[in-house]
Amino acid sequence: MLSMIGEAPVNTVDGSKSADVSQADTILTEISREIQSGGWHFNTEYQVELTPDTVTSEIYLAPQTLRIDLEVADSRAGTTGKYVDAVQRGNRLYDRENKTYVFTDTVKVTVVYGLDWEVVPQPAKQYIAVRAGRVFCDRMIGSSDLHRVHFLQETQALMNLRNWEAEMADHTIFDNFDVYRVINRQGQPNSL
């Protein structure tokens, strides 16, 4: 990222940092979370069972949780068969229908995790680094010529990531919720 603005790279970001290194580190973290929050094959887990805490009856989320989505087939939870409209609020799950953090049953969700840099696959690292570098350069220098060059690199890195994602995830037409809903002839109720 530093080389994109004509500065020498550093060996470590630990310890004392210059203003540029600190800014680059902040932008890298910001862009990594932004890109990972979109949900990729490498950081998304399906059918994760979340159980209420035995003391508070609240469902706490892992610290690295970027996004959750209630599983379609599990939108009717527990023995009551009552529809659950749960969303992430901070580090807990919130029941919007009953306006409470208290849950009586386990729910299944899709979770998108924010992974540490060391475990992010190389195509994602490349895209995150190039995008963060372009954003860093835009904020620090603001050159339209450099923006165009870095944007082309960013586009190529995104294409490489999407190709990698397609190969690894083996997506099919049946992975789409709209297709799933038509096949099962059900959707989420509008209101109760």
Indicate the pLDDT class of residue 192, thresholds 50, 70 and 90: very low
Sequence-separated (6 or more) residues with CB below 8 Å from residue 104: 52, 57, 78
User: Averaged over 40-63, what is the pLDDT?
Assistant: 93
Tell me how far apart the alpha carbons of residues 189 and 83 are, in angstroms, rounded to a whole number.
8
Residue showing tokens 């003391």: 55
CA distances, 94 to each of 56, 58, 105, 158 (Å): 13, 8, 13, 34
- Give first-to-last CA distance, the chain, whole Å: 51
Give me the pLDDT at residue 176, please: 66
CA distances, 167 to each of 76, 104, 163, 170, 172 (Å): 33, 40, 6, 6, 11
Q: Taking 90 as the threshold, does the pLDDT of residue 73 lie above it? A: no
Give me the pLDDT at residue 70, please: 84
Indicate the pLDDT class of residue 16, thresholds 50, 70 and 90: low
Would you give the DSSP letter of residue 104?
S
CA distances, 137 to each of 26, 101, 157 (Å): 13, 42, 17
Handedness of CA 180, 182, 185, 189 (dihedral sign): positive
Tell me how far apart the alpha carbons of residues 60 and 56 are, in angstroms, rounded to a whole number.
10
Contact between residue 98 and residue 192 where contact means Cβ atoms under 8 Å apart = no
Q: Which residues of 123-133 are buried (b: 16+ CB within 10 A; e: fewer)?
A: bbbbbbbbbbb
Q: Which of 115, 118, 111, 132 is nearest to 30 (CA)?
A: 132
Domain range list for the chain: 2-37+116-169, 42-113
pTM greater than 0.85:
no
Indicate the pLDDT class of residue 59, thresholds 50, 70 and 90: very high
Q: Which residues of 24-33 are buried (b: 16+ CB within 10 A; e: fewer)?
A: bbebbeebbe
Q: Between 170 and 56, where is the model more confident?
A: 56
Residue showing tokens 């409209």: 85
